[in-house]
Structure 1
Amino acid sequence: MKKLFLTVLAAGMTTAAFCQKTFILSHQDKKGFFAVSAGASLPVGKFASCSPTDGQACMAGQGFAFNASAGYRVAGPVGLMIRGEQHRNTVNTSAMLDALYRNDTDVWTAKADNWSVLTVAAGPYISVPMGRFSVDARLLAGRALAVLPNTSMAGNFGTTEMSVKTTGSQSTALSLGGGLTMRYRLGRSIALNLNADYSRADFTFNNLTSTATNGSIRSESSTFSSNRVVSIVSVSAGVTVLFGDKYRPF
């Protein structure tokens, strides 16, 4: 009985020591992080506009966002970080048809590729720890690559079959944005994160063409350019790997 008691006591002390160590390490300040997240891409402003009278309306719908980031605190709560994010957004084809004048008896359909926006940005961030929780705020600047989607509409005006196709293009521009991250530590080096970010870039898409078919007659426009403002809010969640403290940088 005495031997059993000592065994149980030793096991209890070992478990308590392990839990204490885990608790201490889970609260130990970490200077750096790697994070990956995925979530929703929400267009705002002219990027979401479906107004038929707005020449810069992008008619973008909700989509998917994936991002990866890394950062390291260099002076107290202030650090530097780099962040990449990919957005895929649908095009509101119903709004495309609303912009087309047609009779009630005419039947038209519309098709479009997806918007694609890739941003890579860097800048300062501030991290505020609150026990197992922490909040990061960031301001970022970088480059964005956007792909204007191909679109097409086909239908009839009375007995005449018609179609209109517009080619897409890609463009790069300066990207500005910022965001917030709420992080919850699960243990020594792993945390869950919830992010909200905003980014904006002004693009000029060149070498666009539009082709119209009216029965057997086909006409193609000369190349033209189009200015589009792409502004997006993303809400995402993911996993963070923490590293670096005052004793061990990694």
Structure 2
Amino acid sequence: MKKLFVTVLAAGMTTVAFCQKTFILSHQDKKGFFAVSAGTSMPVGRYGSCLTSDIKACMASQGLSFNVAAGYRVFGSVGLMVRGEQHRNAVDTKAMLSSLYRNETDVWTANADNWTISSVMAGPYISIPLGRFSVDARLLAGKAQAVLPNTSMAGNFGSIEMSLKTTGSQSTATAFGGGATLRYRLGRSISTHVNADYTRADFLFHNLTSTATNGSQKSTSLPYSSNRVVDVVSVSAGFAFLFGNKYRPF
């Protein structure tokens, strides 16, 4: 009986010690992270404008965003991070058609590829611990690449078949951004989080052309350039792997 009591007591003490160690390690401050997130991309400003009177309106609609990020605190709560992000936004084809003057009996359709905005930015961030929660804030700058989508419209004016096609292009530009993250620690090295970010870049697209077809007649414009400003807000969620113990109690 005494031997059984000692065995049970030892097992209980081992369990308590293990739980204490797990609890301490789950709260152990980590200096670095690698995060993956996905969410929604919301165009703002001229990027999301559908005003037909504005030739620089991008007519982008709500889409998807994906991002990966890595950071490491180098001094107290201040660190450096690198973030890669991609936005995919469809073009509002109904807004494209609204720019046409046509009779009620005329039938027109519009098609467009998607906007694709990819960026890699780096900069400082600050992390404020709140128990298992933490709040991060960041300011970033870097490079972005945008794909201006091909568009086309086709229909009729009375008995005359017509179409208009514009070619897309690619461009790179300096990008600026910032955002915040609310993080919750799930265990020793895993956390979940919610991000809110803003990205802006001013692109200049070259070698664009427009081709108009009017019945049997066809005309193509000379190559031209167009400036487009991309402003986009994203809200995403995901998981992060935490590394780099600040203290080593075990």
TM-score interval for Structure 1 and Structure 2 normalised by the shorter chain: over 0.9
Alignment-mate amino acid for residue 96 of structure 1 = M
Looking at structure 1, the residues matched to 63 and 5 of structure 2 have their Cα atoms a distance apart, in angstroms, of 61
SS of residue matched to 1:194? strand
Alignment-mate amino acid for residue 227 of structure 1 = N
Deviation at 1:14, TM superposition (A): 1.9
SS of residue matched to 1:99? coil
Looking at structure 2, the residues matched to 231 and 14 of structure 1 have their Cα atoms a distance apart, in angstroms, of 56
Q: Percent identity?
A: 75
Aligned to 2:223: 223
Aligned to 1:141: 141
Q: Which runs of 5+ in 2 are unaligned?
A: none
Aligned to 1:188: 188
Aligned to 1:36: 36
Aligned to 2:73: 73
Looking at structure 2, the residues matched to 61 and 7 of structure 1 have their Cα atoms a distance apart, in angstroms, of 66
Q: CA RMSD in A?
A: 1.1
Q: Which runs of 5+ in 1 are unaligned?
A: none
Alignment-mate amino acid for residue 59 of structure 1 = M
1:76-225 map, 5 Å:
76-225=76-225
Deviation at 1:57, TM superposition (A): 0.4
The number of equivalent residue pairs is 248
Alignment-mate amino acid for residue 98 of structure 1 = S
Looking at structure 2, the residues matched to 20 and 194 of structure 1 have their Cα atoms a distance apart, in angstroms, of 29
Aligned to 1:242: 242
Deviation at 1:247, TM superposition (A): 4.7
Looking at structure 2, the residues matched to 90 and 12 of structure 1 have their Cα atoms a distance apart, in angstroms, of 60
| TM-score with structure 2 setting the length | 0.96
| TM-score with structure 1 setting the length | 0.96
Deviations 1:43-89 (Å, cap 9, x if unpaired)? 11100000010111000011111100111111111111110001111
Deviations 1:210-235 (Å, cap 9, x if unpaired)? 00111111110111111101011011
Looking at structure 2, the residues matched to 12 and 163 of structure 1 have their Cα atoms a distance apart, in angstroms, of 80
Q: Any runs of at least 4 consecutive aligned residues in structure 1 with deviations exceeding 6 A, and if so which?
A: none
SS of residue matched to 1:21? helix
Looking at structure 2, the residues matched to 227 and 164 of structure 1 have their Cα atoms a distance apart, in angstroms, of 20
Deviation at 1:9, TM superposition (A): 2.9
Alignment-mate amino acid for residue 118 of structure 2 = L
